[in-house]
Amino acid sequence: MNHALQIRSALVSEQLPAPAQAWLQALVAQQPPQQRTLPALVAAAKARLLSTDLTTPGLLDASLPPPVFPRELLSASAVSAREIRLSHDVVAQVVDLENLSQSRWQQVQALEAIERGEQKRGREIIRVPAAGDAEQDDGGDETDAGDRNGRPAAQAASTGTATGTSDANATHRLVLQDAAGQTLFALELTRIYRIGIGRLRMGEKVLLKKGIVAARGTLLLEPASVKFLGGQVESLHKTWVEGRLARLRSEATAAGSG
């Protein structure tokens, strides 16, 4: 078995989508000869895959069934259906995130703190990893019970956003995008501490497990139904922070003057 096939097999075993053969061969060719051991190549491929937009042409193996949202979830009738269950696993990426429990100004403050590389824990300002450090955290589901920094759920629950408020009872709405560029809303049905402004980054890959329920066209997320694979797409994250800040400031100003 050649390196490309071995790497693909290793990635698929970790529930990542299968990259195209040409993409893998190009990645192998770019590595220095001394780093072409299988473990090193798998690590490099995983990091590159997690930091690449899923919709990039030629990224995924076209010979395999595309891991995309099923038609019944994307049809116009889905919004009137009480319950549709996902018929197969889908790897998607996060392209939007909103804390529905916060006011617009609170969301502005949280995003401004992220821009400065800061967050608050209680009254203590802490530094958070820079965007370029994302590859050091593979985002595995071992942190599902806590937060991105590995704190347990009980401690993560007491961790505030930039306003110092707890997100233990927050509800987040996400927009998830599949490899075909199709998007669906997702809503926390049960609080998942891995989801939060400053913890979840745009372009991060998530595995939506077969059987997850969609109600009225919206995926309902519970800890057992989703696995966080990690990564981020720097261009998506930067555009999202800047664009969301502008929208929130405009909306907050309009609401304040209304």
Give residue limits of the domains in the chain: 3-50, 71-257
Which of 37-51, 185-199, 230-244: highest mean pLDDT? 37-51
Q: Measured between alpha carbons, how far is residue 87 from residues 1, 25, 214 in Å?
A: 32, 32, 11
Q: What CATH number labels 71-257? A: 2.40.50.770
CB 86 within 8 A of CB 211: yes
SS3 115: helix
The rounded distance, in Å, linking the Cα atoms of 86 and 210 is 5
Q: Which helix (H) or strand (E) holds 177?
A: strand 172-177
SS3 93: strand
Residue 110 has pLDDT above 50, yes or no: yes
In this prediction, residues 230-244 reach a mean pLDDT of: 89
The rounded distance, in Å, linking the Cα atoms of 243 and 99 is 16
Residues in the chain: 258
User: How is 20-62 classified by DSSP, letter by letter?
Assistant: PHHHHHHHHHHS-GGG-SHHHHHHHHHHHHHTS-TT-TT-B-T
Bigger pLDDT: 139 vs 63? 63
Global pTM?
0.76
Q: Say if strands 218-221 and 183-188 run parallel, antiparallel, or are unpaired.
A: parallel
Give 58-104 pLDDT, tens digit per residue.
Answer: 999 988 876 899 988 998 888 888 899 999 999 999 999 988 887 77
SS3 178: coil
pLDDT at 163: 40
